[in-house]
Amino acid sequence: MRVLIAFPNSDTANPFVKELVNGLTDNGCDVTWDLDMFWNKTGCYDIIHIQWPEYLFTDEIHFNELNIRLLRDRLSFWRNSAKIILTRHNEHPNYSENRKAYKDLYTMVYSYCDGIAHMGPYNIENFKSKHQINIAGKEIIHTIIEHHVYTNSYANTISLKQARRILKINDNRFVILIFGRIRFKEERKFLTKLFKRKEFKDCLFLIPSWLPPTNGKGLRNLFKKIFHTSILLLMNSSGHIKACNIFVRDNETQFYFNSSDVVLVPRLEGLNSGNIMLAFSFKKVAVGPDIGNMAFDLREFGNPIFKPDSIESLISALNSAKKLTSQGWGHINYIKSNTLRNSNVISQKYIKLYSQSIV
């Protein structure tokens, strides 16, 4: 089966896609991973597989009205010779600007799909009722294909002591890792309440990417950077927070996960989080919110869940996580997830969806 993964292929490409490509290839698919070929109408494929619709746009092909029309043309072109499959990563795009335009983009891409893979059961029936028939009048196939673990994307060769030596963390601290960009101010406010609680003064919160993005230019953005940097300095002075604002490279990811005891996913809204499976890949207990498919993943593997509107619920979940960690639950997460969610198992489910869409 010939598959085109329509997603940017670069050194910093999303590891979800890397694992998917490897799994599909190992299962006999002829996989091409190239976004330019999608736009240039190059090649002959059975399946066009889209991930996040916004990533169909690039620095050269910006997200604007003209290029949305161009995207419609490309989707129409590929529909004539291939089936279009989408993995539904988000309930809606993680953008605060032009949010309606991005939602409209998602709806438009859905309308060209022959099959949509959902990473869990959350709200799937409601979604299916809104997206039953595609633009050609054919029924869209909806199926659950869970998030895979990260088997081959990250090095995992150093011990806890070695990792803590690199990050200058005391061996005796109980470390709670908050990995990935803290996207919204509401998440930062929620976590700030946690940091003030005396129950966790002896713990260390390890946060590599705390600050909001400030990529703009001008005096206003300069003041924003100065303000947020001063907050960062104040946080680190507390003694139980080690926060910075860096992009963690793939080869450095193990420093943070192998330094930690528990991984906290602090999302207050959203559908999925790859950081849950990433935590399991590093033999960690994960704590996450009772929302979306995140709750589905955590419950399946017996990890603590908190209510996103309750700091008391989060504290209870973290206390449960500490207990589970002492019982070796992180290793159980690793064994179970590598059995049920490895890229080989998940890729076979995608191949089944591909085959169903072609019939």
Tell me: the pLDDT tens digits for 173-219? 999 999 988 888 899 999 999 999 999 999 999 999 998 766 667 78
Among 59-63, 78-82, 132-136, which is the least confidently predicted range? 59-63
Q: What is d(CA 236, CA 204) in angstroms, rounded to the nearest whole number?
A: 10
pLDDT value at residue 215: 63
Residue ranges, comma separated, of all CATH 3.40.50.2000 domains in the chain are: 2-148+342-358, 160-340
CB atoms within 10 A of CB 57: 19
Which tens digits make up the pLDDT trace of 344-356? 999 999 999 999 9
Which tens digits make up the pLDDT trace of 281-333? 999 999 999 999 999 999 999 999 999 989 999 999 999 999 999 999 999 99
Q: What is d(CA 179, CA 15) in angstroms, rounded to the nearest whole number?
A: 15
Evaluate whether 220 touches 340 at the Cβ level (below 8 Å): no
Kindly provide the residue ranges of all beta strands, DSSP E only, lying in 115-240, ordered along the sequence. 115-118, 141-144, 174-177, 203-207
pLDDT value at residue 319: 97
Give how far Cα 330 sits from Cα of 77, 252, 321, Å. 47, 20, 10
> Both tokens of residue 255?
């420093």
pLDDT tier at 226, thresholds 50, 70, 90: confident
Q: What is the average per-residue pLDDT within 234-243?
A: 93
Q: Does domain 160-340 have CATH number 3.40.50.2000?
A: yes
User: Over the chain, what is the mean pLDDT?
Assistant: 94
pLDDT value at residue 115: 98
> Both tokens of residue 144?
């659950």
pLDDT tier at 74, thresholds 50, 70, 90: very high
Which tens digits make up the pLDDT trace of 239-252? 999 999 888 999 99
Give how far Cα 115 sits from Cα of 142, 246, 272, Å. 6, 37, 19
Among 89-93, 158-162, 293-297, which is the least confidently predicted range? 89-93
pLDDT value at residue 219: 80
Edge-to-edge strand list for the sheet holding 305-306: 241-243, 203-207, 174-177, 262-264, 285-289, 305-306
CA-angle at 244, arms to 242 and 245, nearest 5°: 160
| Overall CATH class of domain 2-148+342-358 | alpha beta
